Structure 1
Amino acid sequence: MPPARQGNGCMTDTIDVTSRQAIYRGIVTGEGQSFRGIRYAEAPIGPLRFRPPVRHENSGLVDATTFGNAAPQMQRRAPAWMPRGAGFQTGEDCLNLNVYTPAADGAKRPVIVHAFGGGFQGGAAQGGYHDDAGFAARGDVVLVRPNMRTGALGFLHLGPAMGDDYAAANRGMLDFVAALEWVRDNIAAFGGDPDNVTLIGMSSGSFTIAALFGMEGVADLYRRAWLMSGPASRIVMPDTATAITATFLDKAGIAPGDTAGLAALPVETILAIQETVLATHLGERNAPGGRTLGIVLDGTSLMRHPLENLASGRFRDHELVLGWARDEARMWYAFGIMPEVADRATLLASIARFRPEDPAGELARLEAELPGRSWTEYEEIFLSRAIYRDPALATASAQNTAGGRAYTYEFAWVPPFEGGRLGAAHGSDEPFVFGNVSPDRIPLTAGDNRADALAAEMSTALYAFARTGEPTWALADGIQTFK
């Protein structure tokens, strides 16, 4: 293997892997081989900015030793207790993926494809807390992490205003599908089995994966899905998506049909405007009709609601794991994004967004189950269940009733930070599922001697699921609790 000199002046071993018309040059480490920044679709710039991804066929020698761009997004300062990583570069030329394998040796290892979370507004396939090479090596699996378009560039529903021939719906979801097509066509050369692909995602990444159950022609691209805090529920109706687009265009000073004006918008302007258009209140954002970006039931890219397809039995041969954190909504209160609930009337209005038929009855049931809580605590508990837990159970029920297999779990580990005030919050299970809870990456695990064992337990379940379609608990056991 010839050495290649990196920009920092040190030498590193490289390896060349041939697939189709391309020779991919990656990096060899003590944990395996990594191939970074592989283009899977043409750069979505110029006339392709709002179009569906255009397949890119790599050829010749492809330098896969450096990461590509993540999608443009607002950069926010995170609290010191949040997961830590090296960071990442952003740019509109972002349709690339990273592959981590123990060895590109022709073995047929399970393939795990990860869709990052970020509220449909951000996220990246690199630069976070993940120990990607270590994860692949520990489980003897091949890990693929694609970048895809996010925010207005990926999900603003522009077709009705600008014409479907100019702007496709659900571009970020279609990017993910294009990455899966690259996996199907190439992953065997990297030691993976294209017929044994498990998708895993958290939050918006999970919602994106769940939406695939409503698409046509993608079922053969994967066999399994592990969904964290993103069941087959958050689907945006076309009228809601169209209204959000109208507000966006009005703020941008662009008339419907003015494709030239939209094309000329600087990406910084697009990001700034989308921040003013979308709701920040968790309930308003996730309730039916909420002002949020997401997967739109457009009838073209997403033909049917994914729950409808699951209930029909069309995906009964695809195994599912659906997980949620016990205190999902706590994070938004900890960040100060969610305001304190002042009185009973305000709480009832919040509940009514999801349960308009009987908000008072819903609150009465909560008060009977958990007496003596504050209005804010009741709202937090209700939103945790209404947005994440209850739709996950409904998704699992649809799959199981149709003759498939869907396993469920609740994550209840509470970090010791500040007396446990963060609870088992949104996204807190993902580091454990990936078996990576070192305090230098996940500060909240510092001082908790249970964390390593729990991470080993959960990552073992993921590896088992990717191999066999069964995690480490039986379907008949019901909801598995990890704490």
Structure 2
Amino acid sequence: MTAPPGSLLRGPLLRETEAGWVRGETLKAGHSHSWAWLGVPYAAQAAGPLRFRPPQPHGGWVGIREARSFGPDVLQPLDPSVTLTPSVEGSLLLNIWTPARPAPAGGWPVLFWLHGGAFRAGSGRLYDGRELAARGEIVVVSVNSRLGPLGYANFGGLFADDRFAPNAGFQDQVAALRWVHANIAAFGGNPARITAAGQSAGAAGVSLLLGHGSTAPLLAGAILQSGGLNQVSDLDNSLDIARAYANALGVRRDNLNALWTLPPRAFVAALHTLEGVRKRSLNSRPFLDGVLLPTTRAELLARPLAPVPLLIGANREEYSLFVRLPDRIFQKIDRTYLAHKLEQQASPERVLKILSAYPDTLEGLTALGTDLFFHTPNDVLGDAHPAPHWRYRLDWGTKVAGLGATHGMELLFLWPRPMGLSSALMRGGQARQRAALAHRMQTAWLNFVREGSPGPDWQPGSAEQPNVNVLSLAGLSVEAEAERKRRALWDGLVVPMP
């Protein structure tokens, strides 16, 4: 290491990265403390001429960069559950938390976290890693990457123009993982012990990292929470989405260069436009580009995966969020809509058999959507995984709006305020029992990051023995027979998200 300017300023919170020196701060973390470095660039700001480019190395800075507060969120709509502070285009930053003491020889294991938000919104800022780092003696890293049309619109394919990087948002995630592998030792992390984890869209990103040639060798483990490869779009759909964005932005081939000069707010407005005209669809998502990702869905599912331990699961009533609280993304979901999605992938006889297993009620619709879009993709990925894997299901549910164990509920047991100001409302009562469940879950997740296994009480899964480790206020239990029946009904069917 070279001495920072003014070597007398050197201290335990000064760290040298490839781009320069950063200074962190000490934070209170429960009954302990954590060191944190916030808003650290892992690439140059992706704006101006870099708006549609792959992530570029940061040019560095002179002196010491203060890393004691979060940087701005990457460009996205204002959302009370994420932020009401205006975001900034191309803000490619990450946050690092460690125990508040020097690392042991070899360094601490690393948790590399990708947030959810349907590839349209979200922030690593919501996942404060100080308590996990202090309690688990690990390094926690949360990442921001490009979202919305600037992250995933296939303008390059639509206009046959290679100035547009395909899947720029995923390329950001690749760059962030590479940055962590190259720099985390300076913060006390062990680059040979990186576990990538994510929820919803973040879990889809981790699924892609597991099978990507340049990132798979960097991983020691993976955690997938309520998300997977069924969120990836095929090429034709990506072109439809890009065409809709181009129309919303008023861009054609003869004025294509306007895409570099439009103000950032125009891309947020275009996202809102698509969510009005392309309802019940993901309008921002990775796509099969034939360059970074395979060309077909079959090739995507057949890719070799990193042979590392896998923790994978979902919540009991994932789909209730979209049934009971329809929003900009999934509006007015009903049984007919899900039946239509099934008919696109299965024979009429098979569709009838599946639908007959789910009553035509609100609860039956929730169970059908949960199995269709969350549990069955996990079946296929878990069975194909070349290393030990453990399945989980969270059965605790919030009382708010009758949502139950819906999408995102497991986050409340792993992070302090993952839903911003609404976190306390969603948690509700039963504080002592919830604290015990949070302790069990955090212990399992930390064991997995440190040792590659959630613990001796957890049962690994396989196609022959489909164990699911059920997490509830009553404790940990293992369910197999009901899983075997559910899996026989679906028999490996994977339906892409709309």
TM-score (ref. length: structure 1): 0.84
Alpha-carbon distance in structure 1 between the residues aligned to 2:73 and 2:238: 24
From 256, 259, 262, the equivalent of 2:256 is 259
Structure 2 counterpart of 1:297: 288
Alpha-carbon distance in structure 2 between the residues aligned to 1:280 and 1:409: 36
Q: Report Cα offsets for 1:390-423 as digits up to 9, x if no partner.
A: 1011110111xxx4222211111122446xx111
Structure 2 counterpart of 1:398: 384
Structure 2 counterpart of 1:412: 395
Give the CA deviation at 1:87: 6.3
Give the CA deviation at 1:247: 1.6
Alpha-carbon distance in structure 2 between the residues aligned to 1:145 and 1:396: 25
Q: Report Cα offsets for 1:16-50 as digits up to 9, x if no partner.
A: 12345622111123412110111111111111101
Where does structure 1 lack aligned partners over 5 or more consecutive residues?
1-12, 79-84, 286-290
Letter in 2 for 1:297: L
Structure 1 counterpart of 2:492: none
Give the CA deviation at 1:194: 0.5
Structure 1 counterpart of 2:49: 47
Distance 1:451 1:308, change over 3 A: farther
Structure 2 counterpart of 1:27: 25
Structure 1 counterpart of 2:480: none
From 169, 174, 178, the equivalent of 2:171 is 174
Give the CA deviation at 1:361: 4.6
Give the CA deviation at 1:15: 2.3
Structure 1 SS opposite 2:470: strand
Structure 2 counterpart of 1:319: 309
Where does structure 2 lack aligned partners over 5 or more consecutive residues?
1-10, 473-498
Alpha-carbon distance in structure 2 between the residues aligned to 1:208 and 1:279: 26
Please tell me whether the aligned partners of residues 324 and 403 of structure 2 are also in contact (alpha carbons under 8 angstroms).
Answer: yes
Give the CA deviation at 1:239: 1.4
Distance 1:179 1:450, change over 3 A: same
Alpha-carbon distance in structure 2 between the residues aligned to 1:151 and 1:429: 25
Alpha-carbon distance in structure 2 between the residues aligned to 1:239 and 1:275: 21
55-64 or 172-181: which moved more?
55-64
Say whether 1:217 aligns with 2:214: yes
Alpha-carbon distance in structure 2 between the residues aligned to 1:381 and 1:452: 27
Say whether 1:426 aligns with 2:407: yes
Give 1:304-383 correspondences, 5 Å limit: 308=299, 311=302, 314-315=304-305, 317-337=307-327, 347-356=335-344, 357-358=346-347, 361-367=350-356, 369-371=357-359, 373-374=360-361, 376-383=362-369
Give the CA deviation at 1:358: 3.7
Q: Percent identity?
A: 28
Structure 2 SS opposite 1:295: coil
Give the CA deviation at 1:319: 1.6
Distance 1:275 1:435, change over 3 A: closer
Distance 1:340 1:262, change over 3 A: closer
Alpha-carbon distance in structure 2 between the residues aligned to 1:461 and 1:136: 14
Structure 2 counterpart of 1:102: 99
Alpha-carbon distance in structure 1 between the residues aligned to 2:276 and 2:68: 39
Please tell me whether the aligned partners of residues 98 and 187 of structure 2 are also in contact (alpha carbons under 8 angstroms).
Answer: yes
Please tell me whether the aligned partners of residues 214 and 305 of structure 1 are also in contact (alpha carbons under 8 angstroms).
Answer: no
Letter in 2 for 1:111: V
Letter in 2 for 1:381: A
Please tell me whether the aligned partners of residues 234 and 288 of structure 2 are also in contact (alpha carbons under 8 angstroms).
Answer: yes
Give the CA deviation at 1:224: 1.2
Say whether 1:470 aligns with 2:467: no
Give the CA deviation at 1:68: 1.2
Q: Report Cα offsets for 1:238-282 as digits up to 9, x if no partner.
A: 111011111211222111263321112221121111222247988
From 74, 77, 80, the equivalent of 1:74 is 77
Aligned length: 445
Say whether 1:65 aligns with 2:46: no
Please tell me whether the aligned partners of residues 116 and 204 of structure 1 are also in contact (alpha carbons under 8 angstroms).
Answer: yes
Please tell me whether the aligned partners of residues 307 and 387 of structure 2 are also in contact (alpha carbons under 8 angstroms).
Answer: yes
Give the CA deviation at 1:67: 1.6
Letter in 2 for 1:70: D
187-196 or 103-112: which moved more?
103-112
Please tell me whether the aligned partners of residues 437 and 455 of structure 1 are also in contact (alpha carbons under 8 angstroms).
Answer: no
Give the CA deviation at 1:308: 4.6
Structure 1 counterpart of 2:429: 447
457-466 or 327-336: which moved more?
327-336
Distance 1:230 1:58, change over 3 A: same
Alpha-carbon distance in structure 1 between the residues aligned to 2:427 and 2:371: 25
Structure 2 counterpart of 1:183: 180
Give the CA deviation at 1:195: 0.5
Structure 1 SS opposite 2:124: coil
Please tell me whether the aligned partners of residues 211 and 295 of structure 1 are also in contact (alpha carbons under 8 angstroms).
Answer: no
Alpha-carbon distance in structure 1 between the residues aligned to 2:226 and 2:261: 36
Please tell me whether the aligned partners of residues 234 and 296 of structure 2 are also in contact (alpha carbons under 8 angstroms).
Answer: no
From 377, 381, 384, the equivalent of 2:370 is 384
Structure 2 SS opposite 1:242: helix
Alpha-carbon distance in structure 2 between the residues aligned to 1:260 and 1:228: 39
Structure 1 SS opposite 2:229: coil
Please tell me whether the aligned partners of residues 358 and 365 of structure 2 are also in contact (alpha carbons under 8 angstroms).
Answer: no
Q: Report Cα offsets for 1:161-213 as digits up to 9, x if no partner.
A: 34443111111111111111111111111111000001111111111111223
Letter in 2 for 1:427: G
Please tell me whether the aligned partners of residues 70 and 148 of structure 1 are also in contact (alpha carbons under 8 angstroms).
Answer: no
Letter in 1 for 2:351: E
Letter in 2 for 1:387: F
CA RMSD of aligned residues (A): 2.9
Give the CA deviation at 1:135: 1.6
Structure 1 counterpart of 2:267: 270
Letter in 2 for 1:327: E
Structure 2 counterpart of 1:288: none
Distance 1:100 1:463, change over 3 A: same
Distance 1:349 1:121, change over 3 A: closer
Please tell me whether the aligned partners of residues 459 and 469 of structure 2 are also in contact (alpha carbons under 8 angstroms).
Answer: no
Give the CA deviation at 1:233: 2.6
From 439, 442, 462, the equivalent of 1:459 is 442
Give the CA deviation at 1:434: 4.0
Distance 1:179 1:57, change over 3 A: farther
Give 1:177-256 correspondences, 5 Å limit: 177-256=174-253
252-261 or 168-177: which moved more?
252-261
Structure 2 SS opposite 1:353: helix
